């Protein structure tokens, strides 16, 4: 099977030599997955971003509630063409997913899954999954290894509430060449802002950002 490389993204340069990449910052995208502005996962995302930036990474934050991304139509236009038939903010997210060294999602749990606004982003990554597995295209190599982090927060105590997301995260990020994303899960956090009473959670998020900002990764 012939491997076809993705076309270069106009936003970022092609893979560079060792000399050229010296001093090049790690690029990260952080998706904040909740419809609740200023809620627990937004606060956690802030600490993650602060760690990433403090560690020297270039970060783009995407609030799922603010982007216009429809659900997947399952039309398989992407299987024939390599492109999604829908034209919305997902085009920008495809670029970020392909050209960032770190992909992070911070999300609440809604009925043992992610909120539908975040699920739409995950579903639409199907285009990249299809490019990899139906069209046998290679995910473009980057200067540093790719890594993924999914941090999730739920109100109840059960560990099973994260099972669906654990599985979804694996398949979602595999589409962009991330094999073993890290999953950080936090129970017992419900009211808006309640995570501020859990400083250990916020510190863990900041530390995660600092680690992910290093070119060699976590
Ligand atoms: C529609 C909806 C469904 C929810 N489902 C669950 C659930 O299945 N398990 C759970 O532990 N918490 C559930 N919760 C609680 C949220 O996960 C919790 O309040 C979380 O802290 C919200 O984070 P946010 O402030 O970032 O939105 C649900 C909340 C909503 C609004």
Q: Which pLDDT band, with edges at 50, 70 and 90, does 23 fall under?
A: low
Q: Which residues, judged by CB distance below 6 Å to any ligand atom, belong to the binding site of ligand 1? A: 34, 36, 39-42, 108-112, 153-156, 161, 189-190, 192
Residue 159 Cα to ligand 1 middle (Å):
14
Q: Which two tokens stand for residue 42?
A: 């937004």
3-class SS shares of the chain: helix, strand, coil, % to 5: 40, 15, 45
The residue whose C-alpha atom lies closest to atom 31 belonging to ligand 1 is 110
Give dist(CA 83, CA 126) in Å, integer: 10
Question: Which of 38, 109, 187 has most ligand 1 atoms within 8 Å of CB, for mutation?
Answer: 109
Domain residue extents for the chain: 25-212
- Segment 113-161, tens digit of pLDDT: 999 999 999 999 999 999 999 999 999 999 999 999 999 999 999 989 9
Q: How far is the CA of 115 from the centre of ligand 1 (A)?
A: 9
pLDDT of residue 6: 37
- The atom number, within ligand 1, closest to the CA of 194 reads 21
SS (H, E, C) 55-118: CCCEEEEEEHHHCCCCCCCCCCHHHHHCCCCCCCCHHHHHHHHHHCCEEEEEEECECCECCHHH
Percentage with pLDDT > 70 across the chain:
89
CATH number of the structural domain 25-212: 3.40.50.360
Ligand 1 centroid distance, CA of 81 (Å): 38
Integer Cα distance of 80 and 102 in angstroms: 29
pLDDT of residue 159: 87
The answer to whether residue 207 scores a pLDDT higher than 70 is yes
pTM, 2 dp: 0.91
Q: What is the pLDDT of residue 66?
A: 98
Taking the alpha carbons at both ends of the chain, their separation in whole angstroms is: 33
Render pLDDT for 31-80 as a digit per residue (tens, 0 to 9): 999 999 999 999 999 999 999 999 999 999 999 999 999 999 999 999 99
């Amino acid at each position: 099977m012939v491997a076809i490389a993705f076309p270069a993204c106009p936003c970022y340069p092609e893979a560079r030599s060792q000399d050229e990449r010296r001093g090049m910052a790690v690029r990260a995208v952080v998706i904040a997955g909740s419809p609740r502005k200023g809620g627990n996962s937004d606060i956690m995302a802030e600490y993650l971003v602060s760690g990433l930036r403090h560690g020297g990474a270039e970060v783009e934050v995407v609030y799922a509630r603010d982007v216009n991304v429809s659900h997947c139509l399952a039309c398989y236009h992407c299987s024939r063409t390599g492109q999604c038939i829908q034209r919305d903010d997902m085009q920008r997210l495809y670029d970020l997913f392909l050209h960032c060294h770190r992909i992070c999602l911070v999300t609440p749990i809604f009925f043992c899954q992610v909120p539908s606004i975040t699920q739409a982003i995950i579903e639409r990554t199907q285009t990249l999954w299809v490019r990899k597995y139906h069209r046998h295209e290679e995910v473009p190599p980057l200067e540093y290894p790719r890594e993924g982090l999914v941090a999730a927060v739920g109100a109840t105590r059960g560990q099973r509430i994260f099972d669906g997301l654990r599985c979804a995260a694996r398949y979602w990020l595999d589409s962009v060449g991330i094999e073993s994303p890290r999953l950080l899960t936090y129970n017992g956090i419900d009211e808006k802002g309640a995570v501020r009473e859990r400083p250990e959670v916020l510190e863990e998020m900041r530390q995660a950002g600092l680690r992910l900002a290093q070119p060699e990764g976590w």
